Structure 1
Amino acid sequence: MSDERSQGVDFGDVEDEIENYDYPATPEELREQFGDRTVEYNDGEESLGDVLEGVGVDEFQSAEEVYETVMMMVGEEATDEGHSDRGAGTAPDEETESF
């Protein structure tokens, strides 16, 4: 990961600390260590502790698993509302040929 916003989520300065944490780690351990830190997304922000609360994961094996879980937990809040790639490349009046 990088310091830039990834899939709509910005971990800020806690990203390096998550990367360097000694894994495996439980959500409770990560909440204790980083719970007061904030992750930002397009429509707001939330403490990492709140995001990791009740994630349904017993143990994280890597920082990448933490990032993926956080991105999944903030879900649609992290993505641009009103943006959709659905139907991209097809004009509304354009007919498609069926084979």
Structure 2
Amino acid sequence: MSDERSQGVDFGELGDELENHDYPATPDELTEEYGDRTVEYNDGEERFGDVIEGVGVDEFESAEEVFETVMMMVGGEAADEGHSDRGAGTAPDEETDSF
């Protein structure tokens, strides 16, 4: 995940470190190990430890869970790139009849 921007969040080298971490892991363990790393998004950046502090999760089962949680925590700050999902998937299914 290095140098990869996912949904407006750039984990940089932290992404690789999280992927290589042994799971399950608690937020406290991840904060102790990687808390000073920076997560970047469109409108700025934030310390990883600050992002996952108090997330209400007892334990992460995988790096993917960590990534998803971070993306939720930074919310609109990361996702607002002029991209809109409005209307996506709302077209009626033309092949389905109710008869």
Q: What's the TM-score once normalised by structure 2's chain length? A: 0.81
| Structure 1 residue 79: Cα displacement | 1.4
2:3 is aligned to 3
Letter paired with 1:70: V
Judge which range, 73-82 or 28-37, deviates more. Answer: 73-82
The structure with the larger Rg is 1
CA distance in 1 between partners of 2:82 and 2:39 (Å): 22
Identity of aligned residues (%): 82
CA distance in 2 between partners of 1:78 and 1:22 (Å): 27
Aligned length: 88
State the superposition RMSD in angstroms. 1.6
Q: 1:85 to 1:52 in 2, by over 3 A?
A: closer
Q: Counterparts of 1:1-99 in structure 2 under 5 Å?
A: 1=1, 3-80=3-80, 83-86=83-86
CA distance in 1 between partners of 2:59 and 2:79 (Å): 26
CA deviations on 1:59-98 (whole Å, 9 max, x unpaired) are: 000000000000000000101265434358xxxxxxxxxx
Determine if contact 2:25/2:60 at 8 Å carries over to the other structure: yes
Q: What's the TM-score once normalised by structure 1's chain length? A: 0.81
CA distance in 2 between partners of 1:85 and 1:68 (Å): 18
Point out where structure 2 has 5 or more consecutive residues left out of the alignment: 89-99
Point out where structure 1 has 5 or more consecutive residues left out of the alignment: 89-99
Determine if contact 2:2/2:13 at 8 Å carries over to the other structure: no
